[in-house]
Amino acid sequence: MKEKFNDATPNRPQGERPIDSPLLLIDLPALVKQIKTEDAWQKNDRNAITVFKTTGVNMVLVALHANAEMQTHTAPGILSVQVLDGAINFNTADEYVKIKKGELLTLHAEIPHSVLATEEAVFLLTISKVIR
């Protein structure tokens, strides 16, 4: 397996960072600190960073300001949302769930959903696509 790295961008000019490797240690507290000090966090209602990406699995660390909303959308795979700090409301057409720090929610693919931060929140989003 070949390791994968992200490229430096104008928003993250510090250079390459591994996002796929046979063994990858991800320092979530350091990444939370990083995304909360970036301009995108200061200027927008959210900021996010991909922490792992391989065939069929994508993990993204997301920080939302209080009252930030991710409008109704779908995911191409089964997802999990693990709240690391704060609280969010997670809504589908049929259900409403409040998720707080330390809780984990799962949802099957292609189900429309929205997310609202009831307070400043950070969560780890994992999307697992079925490979056929």
pLDDT tens over the chain, length 132 residues: 554 455 545 565 455 678 888 899 999 999 999 999 999 999 999 999 999 999 999 999 999 999 999 999 999 999 999 999 999 999 999 999 999 999 999 999 999 999 999 999 999 999 998 766
Cβ distance 122 to 65 under 8 Å? no
Q: What is the pTM of this model?
A: 0.89
Question: What are the chain's domains?
Answer: 4-128 (2.60.120.10)
User: Which pLDDT score, from 0 to 100, does residue 19 have?
Assistant: 86
User: Which pLDDT score, from 0 to 100, does residue 10 have?
Assistant: 55
User: Which pLDDT score, from 0 to 100, does residue 9 have?
Assistant: 54
Cβ distance 105 to 97 under 8 Å? yes
Residue whose token pair is 């999990």: 80
